[in-house]
Structure 1
Amino acid sequence: MAKTIFEELGGRYERQGDYLIPCIALPAEEEQPMGIWGQRHLDYLKQYRKVTYTNLLTSGRLNAYLADIDRQAQERFVRLIEGMKQAQGITERLKEENALEWTGRLGNIRACAREIVNEEIIFT
């Protein structure tokens, strides 16, 4: 009997009753830590970019891709916060003098930076 394309590529079949079922498994993928940015992008892919999500999942590159997105987003987030703090003059001295104002202004900066990262990296 001639080999199928699946068998020529190294695939095997498993007998279940009278049927031969292909033994299909996803390629092994190295587990990498993923933070909140990677999780948000994963949710976005699942909901709005299903083909991209499926391609990354079946090729075994999903975790590496999400870890890279997470790293890029975190670096961008930190750079934005530092830049905005310098531009607005938010210093440790302000923290010592008026902790409540410092907290409010820093919270505003974090919210702005979060929106920028979401638009530039996470939801693209």
Structure 2
Amino acid sequence: MEQNIFEKMGGTYIKVGDYYVPNLGQFEDEEETDDRPLGKYGMLRRTYLEEHRKPLYNHLLLSGELHSHLRDVNEQAQQMIDTLLPQYKVKQGVTEELKAKEQLLWVGMVNNIIAQIEEIIYSEVVYI
């Protein structure tokens, strides 16, 4: 079988789906090794970058750092929730006794605390 110019110059092909395409490195699965979930806050960050910070979005996308950045944002937001939720519960008097006695009040107070924490996350992590 006769080689084309690409193969004569040392190029190779890679099978993607049902097709063979030139192996230029664009199908290397570097992002696949990061198995952390993208999550709610990562997706919100991606939407924000696409709509309001287009140059940064394009830079992250073209450098291959976008998915890692989005996963980092989600992880940072989750850590903030894990840290702040117990602190806010203590500060606002949301206890297990309240949960046992008045469940609806407890749920409302916890939802209010989560909304407060999410506002902090949006202003300090997602929408910057």
Q: List structure 1 runs of 4+ shifted beyond 6 angstroms.
A: none
Q: Which runs of 5+ in 2 are unaligned?
A: 1-10, 12-22
Tell me, yes or no, if the aligned pair for 1:27 and 1:58 is still in contact at 8 Å.
Answer: no
TM-score, structure 1 as length reference: 0.76
Counterpart Cα distance in 2 of 1:122 and 1:89: 29
TM-score, structure 2 as length reference: 0.74
Paired residues in the alignment total 103
Q: Secondary structure at the match of 2:31?
A: coil
Candidates 84, 102, 121, aligned match of 2:88: 84
Tell me, yes or no, if the aligned pair for 1:73 and 1:117 is still in contact at 8 Å.
Answer: yes
Partner of 1:3: none
Partner of 1:113: 117
Counterpart Cα distance in 1 of 2:65 and 2:50: 15
Residue 60 in structure 1 maps to residue 61 in structure 2: no
Counterpart Cα distance in 2 of 1:60 and 1:51: 14
Counterpart Cα distance in 2 of 1:49 and 1:73: 20
Counterpart Cα distance in 1 of 2:82 and 2:121: 10
Amino acid across the alignment from 2:75 = R
Amino acid across the alignment from 1:108 = N
Structure 1's 27 and 66: CA in aligned 2 closer, same or farther, altered over 3 A?
farther
Aligned residues: CA RMSD: 1.8
Residue 101 in structure 1 maps to residue 102 in structure 2: no
Partner of 2:77: 73
